[in-house]
């Protein structure tokens, strides 16, 4: 019997990688040449010439080594890698920018103080954004309470009941997701505050955010519920369950992780909204613990106001606020992944 | 005659298409009846009419009567969920509930129908034993159903159907996705179950029909709606069928 050891014959070896490596060197070399010899110059010019040369070089290498099909395959692969890079680069550079500019303004005391007694040009270690965090917390909580049940029930109507109005409902949900956020704010302002005579409050803000959140939750939840195999529903019904019991005990648990994702996407959609809050929450510099009445702040509002002040200290505060808002949204995404990936249990 | 299921002049339509025409069959208590025939002859449609699953297809329509203990399950005012509790169904593709453990899957029917679970362990063991799965899963009842093999999943689905104590069990090609070993285990299960209930099984596998069933019904569609060509005890169908078409089909000359 021969002794076999595990190998990976499909992995590229140094010999097969050599032409690719040379191609990369050649691409970089030619790109430098283009920068030097043609009017194209600077970082942008280098990027443009790098993209074009890499397409030409990869195509040429594979055309001469193999054939036209291989060349076409290589060019499309390179194109896909490039577009992928273009997608990731802005995200990473935004994150780096936020960390670099936000970190210096971060202090522990900023989580304990508000801006009620601090002027715009006070040192950045005075004052804080406690009022904005509390406001954003209220807004996220109440807008979720208002929109998640409505959004998921809407999705259930579209996928489980498939009622006579499903087409119209789907159309309106899609139309709703195109509503500009300021319009949602104006609507609550006009109805809840002007017509009914209420004051600025977190609840009013949450209601306007819920208008933006419902379509996101409903559409994501619908996509998730559509993925649940129909034979699970049939199995439930064939066991003598009512439709409601089948949905509650089988369909929703099976879709649990996706439904959590739908909620988080909805939260992420509204956590950074500023415009509707100007009309509904009003903004404030002090902590307001009552979500049902009175002006209060929110992180996006805090950032907006700090930037508008324009002093060095307040701009540092604004960046620190952006850092905190970003960290908050990313925490939500991480939590969604963690809870979503755990196998659902009813 | 002991209680069983009686289908009288059943027709089925999907939209304008007439899928099943005028089928009358008796299913006696304690017997296994196999429905055989080529694809598209309406066997599965007929089976789904027997426990009112047909009506979930939006364009579906039907005519005729299905009598259980002498009363029509399609009578207005009948509680459909009670009907389906008494007439269970096992599907072609194993479909254990993915969010539930093996134990929860077995008990799911009781929970779904909001019935009382008197003795959890006893129900678990007896259902899994009758489905021929107990010895393989008794130490891993808290694992998810998806961790089982295809054949085990199908027996789990059978155990799940048994937990609600149905009088009739309908099986729609229960072995078509399984290997020969699992098929054999399920056929043994069917024979054992038949002592205490009525079983109707749709199958494309003629040997399977010959092995497990007491009676066989041959369905055929000549382009129009599916019709019942011949029904008799299984031995007769496979040895001396009356109809030429049945003979051609069971001997493998067409279909």
Residues A76-119: tens digit of each pLDDT: 999 999 999 989 999 999 999 999 999 888 888 888 888 888 87
How close B238 gets to chain A, by Cα (Å)? Answer: 32
Tokens linked to B137: 């899963």
Residues 250-289 of A with CB under 8 A from B: 250, 253-254, 256
Say how far residue A257 (Cα) sits from the centre of its chain: 17
Q: Is A19 within 8 Å of chain B by CB?
A: no
B60-92 burial: b if 16+ Cβ within 10 Å, else e:
bebebebbbeeeebbeeeeebbebbbbbbbbbb
Tokens linked to A119: 């002027």
Mean pLDDT of the residues in chain B:
91
Tokens linked to A6: 């595990």
Chain A residues with CB under 8 Å of B108 CB are: 236, 239, 249-250
Q: By the 8 A CB rule, do A248 and A192 touch?
A: no
Q: By the 8 A CB rule, do B73 and B10 touch?
A: no
Cβ pair A235:B112 closer than 8 A: no
| Residue B201, beta-bridge partner list | B34, B171
Give backbone dihedrals phi and psi of B219, rounded to 5 degrees, phi first.
-105, 150
Residue A6: CB atoms within 10 A of its CB come to: 4
Cβ pair B81:A241 closer than 8 A: yes
The residue among A174, A171, A168, A204 whose CA lies nearest residue A277 is A204
Give the pLDDT of residue A300. 93
Give backbone dihedrals phi and psi of B218, rounded to 5 degrees, phi first.
-105, 120
| Residue B226, beta-bridge partner list | B20
Mean pLDDT over residues B99-115, rounded? 93
Say how far residue A103 (Cα) sits from the centre of its chain: 22
- When pLDDT is cut at 50, 70 and 90, the band that residue A203 belongs to is very high
Sign of the dihedral defined by the CA atoms of residues A277, A279, A280, A281, in that order: positive
**What is the percent of chain A with per-residue pLDDT over 90, rounded to a whole number?**
53
CA distance B70 to B52: 17
Mean pLDDT over residues A53-71, rounded? 89
CA distance A310 to A312: 7
CA distance A273 to A268: 9
CA distance A93 to A104: 18
Mean pLDDT of the residues in chain A:
89
If you count residue pairs, one on A and one on B, with CB atoms under 8 Å apart, how many are there?
80
Q: Which residues contact A127 (CB under 8 A, 6 or more apart)?
A: A110, A113, A114, A115, A117, A118, A317
Q: Which has the minimum average pLDDT: A29-43, A202-216, B68-82, B181-195? A: A29-43
pLDDT in tens, B241-250: 999 999 999 8
Q: By the 8 A CB rule, do A147 and A129 touch?
A: no
Tokens linked to A327: 């960290």
Say how far residue A135 (Cα) sits from the centre of its chain: 20
**What is the percent of chain B with per-residue pLDDT over 70, rounded to a whole number?**
98
Chain B residues with CB under 8 Å of A237 CB are: 53, 56, 84
Give the pLDDT of residue A204. 94
Q: By the 8 A CB rule, do A184 and A276 touch?
A: yes
The residue among B59, B66, B14, B64 whose CA lies nearest residue B40 is B14
**Strand-pair category, B5-14 with B60-68:** antiparallel
Sign of the dihedral defined by the CA atoms of residues B153, B159, B161, B164, in that order: negative
At residue B32, the 3 state secondary structure works out as strand
pLDDT at B174 over 80: yes
Chain B residues with CB under 8 Å of A340 CB are: none
Q: By the 8 A CB rule, do A152 and A259 touch?
A: yes
pLDDT in tens, A143-202: 999 999 999 999 999 999 888 899 999 999 999 999 999 999 999 999 999 999 889 999
- When pLDDT is cut at 50, 70 and 90, the band that residue B60 belongs to is very high
Q: pTM of the predicted model, to two decimals? A: 0.81
Residue A264: CB atoms within 10 A of its CB come to: 22
pLDDT in tens, A256-271: 888 998 998 899 889 9
Sign of the dihedral defined by the CA atoms of residues A252, A253, A258, A259, in that order: positive
Interface ipTM: 0.87
**DSSP, res A112:** T
Alpha-carbon distance values, A303 to A100, A135, A140, A274, A316 (Å): 16, 13, 17, 9, 10
Q: Is A235 within 8 Å of chain B by CB?
A: yes
Tokens linked to A87: 């997608």
Give backbone dihedrals phi and psi of B96, rounded to 5 degrees, phi first.
-65, 150
CA distance A212 to A228: 26
**What is the percent of chain A with per-residue pLDDT over 70, rounded to a whole number?**
98
């Amino acid at each position: 019997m021969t002794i076999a050891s595990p190998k990976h014959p499909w992995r590229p070896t140094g010999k097969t990688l050599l032409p690719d490596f040379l191609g990369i060197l050649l691409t970089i070399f030619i790109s430098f040449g283009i920068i030097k010899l043609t009017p194209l110059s600077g970082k942008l010019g280098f990027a443009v010439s790098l993209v074009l040369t890499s397409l030409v070089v990869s195509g040429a290498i594979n055309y001469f080594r193999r054939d036209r099909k291989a060349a076409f395959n290589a060019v499309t692969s390179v194109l896909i890698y490039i577009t992928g890079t273009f997608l990731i680069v802005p995200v990473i550079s935004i994150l780096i920018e936020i960390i670099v500019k936000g970190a210096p303004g971060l202090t522990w005391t900023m989580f304990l103080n508000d801006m009620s007694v601090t002027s715009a040009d006070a040192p950045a270690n005075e004052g804080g954004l406690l009022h904005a965090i509390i406001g954003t917390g209220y807004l996220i909580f109440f807008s979720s309470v208002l929109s998640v049940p409505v959004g998921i029930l809407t999705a259930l109507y579209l996928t489980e009941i498939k009622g006579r109005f499903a087409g119209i409902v789907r159309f309106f949900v899609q139309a709703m997701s195109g509503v500009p956020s300021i319009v949602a704010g104006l609507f609550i302002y006009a109805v809840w505050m002007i017509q009914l005579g209420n004051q600025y409050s977190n609840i009013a803000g949450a209601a306007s955010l819920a208008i933006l959140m419902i379509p996101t939750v409903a559409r994501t939840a619908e996509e998730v519920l559509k993925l649940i195999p129909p034979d699970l529903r049939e199995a439930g019904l064939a066991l003598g369950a009512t439709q409601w019991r089948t949905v509650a005990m089988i369909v929703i648990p099976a879709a649990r992780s996706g439904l959590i994702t739908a909620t988080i996407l909805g939260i992420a959609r509204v956590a950074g909204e500023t415009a509707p809050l100007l009309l509904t929450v009003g903004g404030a510099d002090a902590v307001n613990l009552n979500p049902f009445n009175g002006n209060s702040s929110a992180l996006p509002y805090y950032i907006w106001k700090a930037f508008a002040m324009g002093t060095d200290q307040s701009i540092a505060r604004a960046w620190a606020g952006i850092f905190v808002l970003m960290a908050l949204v990313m925490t939500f995404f991480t939590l969604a992944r963690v809870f979503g990936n755990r196998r659902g249990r009813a | 005659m002991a209680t069983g299921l009686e289908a009288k002049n059943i027709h089925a339509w999907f939209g304008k298409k007439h899928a099943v025409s005028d089928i009358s069959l008796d299913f006696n208590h304690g017997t296994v009846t196999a429905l055989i025939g080529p694809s598209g002859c309406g066997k599965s449609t007929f089976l789904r009419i027997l426990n009112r699953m047909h009506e979930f297809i939006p364009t579906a329509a039907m005519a005729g009567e299905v009598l259980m203990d002498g009363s029509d399950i399609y009578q207005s005012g009948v509680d459909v969920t009670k009907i389906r509790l008494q007439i269970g169904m096992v599907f072609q593709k194993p479909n254990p509930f993915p969010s539930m453990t093996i134990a929860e899957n077995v008990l799911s029917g009781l929970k779904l129908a909001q019935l009382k679970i008197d003795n959890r362990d006893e129900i678990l063991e007896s259902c899994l034993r009758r489905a021929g799965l107990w010895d393989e899963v008794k130490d891993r009842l808290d694992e998810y159903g998806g961790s089982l093999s295809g054949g085990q999943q199908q027996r789990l689905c059978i155990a799940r159907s048994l937990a609600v104590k149905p009088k009739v069990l309908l099986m729609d090609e229960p072995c078509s996705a399984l290997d020969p070993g699992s098929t054999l285990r399920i056929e043994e299960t069917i024979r054992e179950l038949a002592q205490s209930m009525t079983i109707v099984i749709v199958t494309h596998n003629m040997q399977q029909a010959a092995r497990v069933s007491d009676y066989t019904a041959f369905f055929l569609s000549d382009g129009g709606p599916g019709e019942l060509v011949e029904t008799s005890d299984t031995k007769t169908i496979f040895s001396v069928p009356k109809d030429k078409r049945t003979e051609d089909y069971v001997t493998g000359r067409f279909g």
